[in-house]
Structure 1
């Protein structure tokens, strides 16, 4: 379609929008009325580049019999146009006219449409239009999509969206600045993008900016991308919205079974560097056993030999002189060529594997009992197998993973023994919720009661069935909320510190379920 024809259709379309119908012109008090005429009723400007301007005029004429009062001349539509005047408020007597200048500065590539309205007291045409068309040979930045809604995005995975920045103009586009604002959950790699500035795009070229929505909690966020360039508009924007949501809302109930039986398995490194710990053991074992006596159903086994069989058999509250028995045997172990004494996690596995009928550790483990493994060493675990594999092995000997705890007396800060630290032991203890004492402290034996108290604490740790957002946890004991609990992210479990949880008590844990990200 020829350009002139398109402009004519545009002018007719705009004219068709008028809310004013032809009516009989009312007369003023003296029987005379003004009648406005604008000539031409449409103006077409030439093809201009960035920074260029062109001025054309139209004439406002009074062809009526009364005085025409023009109260304003405004640009109704079209950012590329500006009314220069000389005046926008004036009176015209019958037969008078005034030329009005309009300036065109291209604000977009190709066709720039606009309209000027002459506002007057003409009774049938109070807003006389002049349709405008200009042509721009300029860079034209277009951001697509200009608006995007991520809708529901599951926490914490979120989603991404590529925004396309393209030059739809006829001259080179130079992007000089990019900025992004949001509530914090919507972002772009701003530093990396700015390191590439200025970005130059020829006509038809494009680049992309990736927006990442990473919701951390339920709720909405809005982000705005601002791009500054030599596009005559100056700054173009695009907005994004997102709503963070949990996969589900979960509520789980646990009924405390009461104080279960406890099977304690104590393993002691027999390396020479451990010799100076005899006194600490002698100091710590009596109060440790005394604390265990508060529990009605416990038993204990001491493993110090590479073969993994318990010294003194399975001991309990009926065993005579149990403190002396442990003291006499704790550092009397023998080692084979395997040197499992420096691999206490592996040695634990060897000991547990011999608890079947007719084996040397028969009776060490009882169905439904808690298993509490106590490890003493001043150097790292040297089996060469990751601690998590050993813990997984230990869990096969209990009725549920939360019935297992590993506690350690180890070189926490790598300051004694051979300086190799607590590797393997510390991680196993932390993962299972056990206690950790520093073997480098001379009086560590007196702190063994802390581990005994941990044994007496029973379970009080509840494994959740779904991945939980810790910020959403609500914990109640018998319907009363408590905030004195510990959440272990690695095991996805809640341990209640207070109030004490007794037999028959009902623990309820509610939380938002996190998505498992691909």
Structure 2
């Protein structure tokens, strides 16, 4: 702007009229037209806000105090701190004496201290870059879990390893933990202590710098990769769900191989004879005892370790003591017990019911009985001998059950052993479907017939001419499958059986006897290798 400076000089004399007063005009050089930026405030502190919940904004006024147009070319945050944001950013021309407003918002995300600088670019030649300095802080709880990840590495199966988990509040406000869960891969080999007992019920409140301690245990039961994680839900606004992840793998410390030949195995069988003691059984009982030597001869030649016991169709208690392969004269003992049975028993024969009672808990033929008859590693065989159908479905004459079917009796017998290969039922009964009349008469052995068929057993005719064949057949069909005792306690899932170098699955393991029993006997002279891992010696 050109300016004209008029300077008027008055020369005064107080006593003469010779001087005149006249103005003098002096012209100066032309002026400059220019914008000039002014920013208010030049620095702003938002103070401390409740992180995650509080947001505050402020206005920065950009004024043009010059006499030329102010051109705002760009406005931005120098470091781009995301806790600060420019929600209204003026650009373009600001005329002289006019102003524009810049809105700045601050929202802390966690316990933190923030600062950044607003950069304003303009055409102000003296100050082309103008700065506004920003500060703020957040108040918040901060969850911190140590360790966030942990690898147990290799742990021997049967051993365990522990880990302590520390949950701390790194913030400056109370941390509320509302939920804590532990997840693990299947099968579950990880466990967490009862934290409710240790720390009390949720929710938990941790003041700043406070902490809680949890215990994790890893006990691998297999060779699979295992994984687990702690999931903690809290009031931390930045990390509402925090994790601690764990992994590990199990391994066996040592392996053992027990080698056998087919001749090395043991053959053990427990045989329960259920003998009809009704009035029509005299001749049949005589045939049974007179041919028992053929039965025992089969066992003796095979080296069978046997237990034999007798009950009747109207009582579940043993007639006499258990006859074993260690007895000096098992044939005479069997004959004497048949004589004790007699044929004056109840006419309502209930062999299924009384064999059920005898093999149920507390019975003479049950596991744990003081008679010592039942052996968990031995094959259990029930032999029914009767010239009548079974009447266990009736309660007449005592005993029996109106609610149990033949399939219930079959299921009960199967439940006594870990494998169906260790249970069998045979019968010497009247022929299907109408009975028989030779060598005395017999009605169809209904009931017994069904149970024996359910279990895949053998049915012989009670009207047969030659009971020696009957007894030899029963002995052969009752023969226990070959069993091998292991030299050490195995990890059951690790057992591998090879017969002549080929992996076999025709076997079962009995933990109570620590033995492997073949469900299909290996050929004579076979080479049998049983390999298994044993429990580690843990620190």
TM-score by length of 2: 0.52
Question: SS in structure 1 opposite 2:171?
Answer: coil
**Matched residues in 2 for 1:310 and 1:295: separation?**
11
- The reply on whether 1:407 has 2:380 as its aligned counterpart is yes
**Matched residues in 2 for 1:207 and 1:494: separation?**
49
Kindly report which structure 2 residues correspond to 1:183-198, keeping only aligned pairs within 5 A, or say none: 183-184=185-186, 185=188, 186=190, 196-198=201-203
2:338 counterpart residue number: 331
- The reply on whether 1:475 has 2:461 as its aligned counterpart is no
Kindly report which structure 2 residues correspond to 1:348-497, keeping only aligned pairs within 5 A, or say none: 377=358, 381=362, 387=368, 405=378, 407=380, 409=382, 435=423, 437=425, 442=448, 452-453=476-477, 455=479, 457-459=481-483, 461-463=484-486, 465-470=488-493, 472-497=494-519
**Matched residues in 2 for 1:167 and 1:437: separation?**
69
**Contact 1:219-1:245 at 8 Å conserved across structures:** yes
For residues 298 and 68 of structure 1, do their structure 2 counterparts lie closer, same or farther at Cα, with a shift above 3 Å needed? same
Task: Write out per-residue CA displacement over residues 227-255 of structure 1, whole angstroms, 9 at most, x where no aligned residue.
Answer: 33222214242232222213325241322
Question: SS in structure 2 opposite 1:331?
Answer: helix
**Matched residues in 2 for 1:56 and 1:141: separation?**
31
Question: SS in structure 2 opposite 1:476?
Answer: strand
* Structure 1 runs not aligned, ≥5 long: 1-38, 61-66, 91-97, 121-128, 317-321, 335-374, 396-401
Task: Write out per-residue CA displacement over residues 307-363 of structure 1, whole angstroms, 9 at most, x where no aligned residue.
Answer: 8899997459xxxxx6xx6774233459xxxxxxxxxxxxxxxxxxxxxxxxxxxxx
**Matched residues in 1 for 2:328 and 2:115: separation?**
96
1:227 counterpart residue number: 232
1:139 counterpart residue number: 141
Instruction: Tell me which moved more, 279-288 or 174-183.
Output: 279-288
1:244 counterpart residue number: 249
**Contact 2:141-2:171 at 8 Å conserved across structures:** yes
Kindly report which structure 2 residues correspond to 1:209-220, keeping only aligned pairs within 5 A, or say none: 209-220=214-225
Question: SS in structure 2 opposite 1:329?
Answer: helix
Kindly report which structure 2 residues correspond to 1:43-442, keeping only aligned pairs within 5 A, or say none: 46-50=47-51, 51-55=53-57, 81-84=83-86, 86=88, 103-109=105-111, 111-112=112-113, 134-155=136-157, 158-184=160-186, 185=188, 186=190, 196-256=201-261, 258=263, 275=277, 289=294, 293=298, 296=301, 298=303, 314=328, 328-332=335-339, 377=358, 381=362, 387=368, 405=378, 407=380, 409=382, 435=423, 437=425, 442=448
**Matched residues in 2 for 1:68 and 1:166: separation?**
48
**Matched residues in 1 for 2:252 and 2:49: separation?**
55
**Matched residues in 2 for 1:130 and 1:182: separation?**
52
Task: Write out per-residue CA displacement over residues 401-455 of structure 1, whole angstroms, 9 at most, x where no aligned residue.
Answer: x9x73636499xx99996899xxx9999769x95465999646796696774453
1:508 counterpart residue number: 529
**Matched residues in 2 for 1:59 and 1:291: separation?**
114
**Contact 2:424-2:478 at 8 Å conserved across structures:** no
**Contact 2:196-2:202 at 8 Å conserved across structures:** no
**Matched residues in 2 for 1:503 and 1:229: separation?**
69
**Matched residues in 1 for 2:235 and 2:489: separation?**
52
TM-superposed CA distance for 1:485, in Å, is 2.1
Instruction: Tell me which moved more, 245-254 or 39-48.
Output: 39-48
Aligned CA RMSD, in angstroms, stands at 6.2
Task: Write out per-residue CA displacement over residues 384-406 of structure 1, whole angstroms, 9 at most, x where no aligned residue.
Answer: x9829987x999xxxxxx9x736
* Structure 2 runs not aligned, ≥5 long: 1-39, 63-70, 93-99, 122-130, 311-318, 342-355, 385-391, 402-408, 428-445, 460-470
**Matched residues in 2 for 1:497 and 1:69: separation?**
91
**Matched residues in 1 for 2:422 and 2:335: separation?**
26
**Number of residue pairs matched by the alignment:** 396
Task: Write out per-residue CA displacement over residues 193-224 of structure 1, whole angstroms, 9 at most, x where no aligned residue.
Answer: 9x944443344444455444343422323333
**Matched residues in 2 for 1:261 and 1:492: separation?**
13
